[in-house]
Amino acid sequence: MPKRQKEKQYQSAREHRANQSLRSGSGSLHSNITRPLPFDCCALTLTPYTTPVCTSDGIIFDNAAIISHLMKHKADPVTGRAMTSRCVITLNMDRDESTGQWQCPVLNKPFTNRSKVIAIRQRPPGNEANVISYEAYHELNLKAKSNLDLISGKKFTKDDVITLQDPDNKAHCKLRDIQNFSHMRSLREENSRQQSAAGSSNVKHSVTASRIMEKLEREKRKRERAAEDQAKRVLKTDNDAGITSSKAKEQVSIYTDELLLSMNLTSGKASGSLTSTTMNITRENKARLATQEEIITSQCEQLKRLKKKGMVRMFTNQGAMDIELHCDIVPRTAMNFLLLVEKGEYDGSKFHRSIPNFMIQGGKKRGSTGSDGGSSIWGKPFADEFDDRLTHAGSGIVSMANSGPTTNGRQFFITYKSCAHLNRKHSVFGKVVGGMEILSKMEEIPTDERTDRPLDTIKIESMEILDNPVTECL
C-alpha cells in the first residue's frame, strides 16, 4: 500500500507569489476576482435588509437606507446615474418564519446566493413588485403561456419582469459586483486621499489605553453637548428664540453609543482596514454619528420602556372628544400623531370621508387636494406597527389610514363599529375615551353617495395635548 502523505504545512514560492498578488490587488488575477452582493444584503449598507426595495435594474436596497441616500445625493449609489425616490420599487417578499430566510411564496423554496430570482411589477400602481423564483415563473407562466401574476392574479408583460439575481447572466453579475458600485469607488478614493495625507502618523494603543481614550472622547462630547444646551437656554431670551433654538437643535451631533439600542454601531473603519487594502489602517472602533432612523428607533424604545399613555382632547365643530394614545405599545405611530398635534398640523382640517356603520376619516393637510393628504412628521412614510392587544373592536378605535403596507402618513380614522377585517392592515394607536356621543352625532350626518363626503362640514378646530410622554424621550 502506498504510504499516506502528511498535509503540507507550508506554502511554495509559487503559491506565496499568487496570494501576495491577491492581497495587494495587483497582477492579472485581480481582473478575474469578483465580490458578488449576497442576495439578502442591501447594496448600499452591505448588511441584511428588512424592508426590501429595488430599482428597475434589479439591485436590492433597504428602504430606509436608499431613501435617506436619495434625499441627500439624488443619485443611484450603484450606477451613479441620477435617481429619485419615485424610481424605487417596493418588493413584496415572503419570509420563512422559522428560519428567517427569504423564500419563493409559490414553491416555498428559500432563496440562496445561487438562486435565479425575479420580481413581477404590479400595474397599477407600478411601484410594487411580487418576488418569486424563476423556476416558478418558467413552469407556471412561460410554459403555460400565462401572463397572470401567480400571487396577485394581475396581468403583466415581459417588460414588467425584473431580474433580481441570475448567476448565469454575466452582465447582471457585473452590475451586482460590489467592486463596481459607485459609492464603494468613492469610498476607496476618499480613503486613499486620507491615507496619503495621514502618512504613517497612526499610533497603536494598548487595549487599556484605547478604552481610556474612548471614555475621554465620550466625556468631551458630553461637555460639548452641555455647552450647546446652555447656549440654547441663553438664546431663548431673544426675540428670535424659536428660530435660533431650532437651528441649534439641528446642529447637535448624536453618536450611536449615546442611543438606547440593542447593538453596538461603530464607524466600521477598524474592520474595514483589516480586510481592505484601500482603507487607512485604524485600530480603534469609534462610535459613528447616528442616522435619523436610529435616533427615532432609540426614542421609540425609550417610549416603550416608560409604559405611559398619551392623552389628546380634540375640539371639533360638533363637540370635544378625548383620545387615549397607546404610546407604550405603538410608540412610532403615537409619536407621529403627538408631534403633528404639537405643531398644530391638524387644526382646521376636515373629516373628508364618513361611512355609517364603518368609520370616519380625517387628518388631511389643509389645502391639499386629491390623494395628496400630507406626510408624516418626518416627511416620509413609516412602517406599520401591529400588536394583538390592539384590534379594531368596537366603536371609537383610532387607527392610521394608509394605501398599503408601510405607507403611513398623517391621516387617521375613527371606527363607528367593530372592523375585524382591518386588523394587521391598519395600525391602531388610540381610542376615544370621552365624547362618544359626539362620534354618534358625526355618524348621523348625511353624506354624498358617490364620494362619502359629509354634506355638512365636520372640522377639527383645534387639539390640546393633556398628557405627552414623548417629551421625556426627545
DSSP 26-78: -SGGGGG---BPPTTB-TTT-SB-SSEEE-TT--EEEHHHHHHHHHHH-B-TT
Q: How far apart are CA 134 and CA 312, in angstroms?
A: 51
Catalytic residue (one of 169, 292, 402, 423): 402
DSSP state of 469: G
Q: Is 426 assigned a catalytic role?
A: yes
Angle at 188 between CA 186 and CA 191, to 5 degrees: 110
Q: Estimate the share of the chain in helix, then strand, then coil, as percent rounded to the nearest 5.
A: 35, 20, 45
Q: Is 413 assigned a catalytic role?
A: yes
Q: Which residue blocks in 52-201 are alpha helix, DSSP H?
A: 63-73, 134-137, 170-175, 182-198
- Lookup: cell for 275: 480586510
Catalytic residue (one of 353, 382, 392, 410): 353
Q: What element of type H or E holds 223? A: helix 207-235
Q: How far apart are CA 291 and CA 265, in angstroms?
A: 11
Catalytic residue (one of 39, 315, 358, 386): 358
Q: Is 424 assigned a catalytic role?
A: no
Q: How many CB atoms lie within 10 A of CB 227?
A: 10
Q: Is 422 assigned a catalytic role?
A: yes
Whether the Cβ atoms of residue 430 and residue 337 lie closer than 8 Å to each other: yes
Strand partners, 292: none
Q: Is 140 assigned a catalytic role?
A: no
Catalytic residue (one of 37, 413, 429, 439): 413
Q: Is 183 assigned a catalytic role?
A: no
Catalytic residue (one of 91, 303, 340, 422): 422
Q: Is 30 assigned a catalytic role?
A: no
Q: How far apart are CA 294 and CA 258, in angstroms?
A: 11
C-alpha distances out from residue 203 to 206, 209, 284, Å: 10, 11, 10
What phi, psi does 118 have (nearest 5°)?
Answer: -130, 165
Catalytic residue (one of 121, 326, 410, 426): 426
- Catalytic annotation, residues: 353, 358, 361, 402, 413, 422, 426
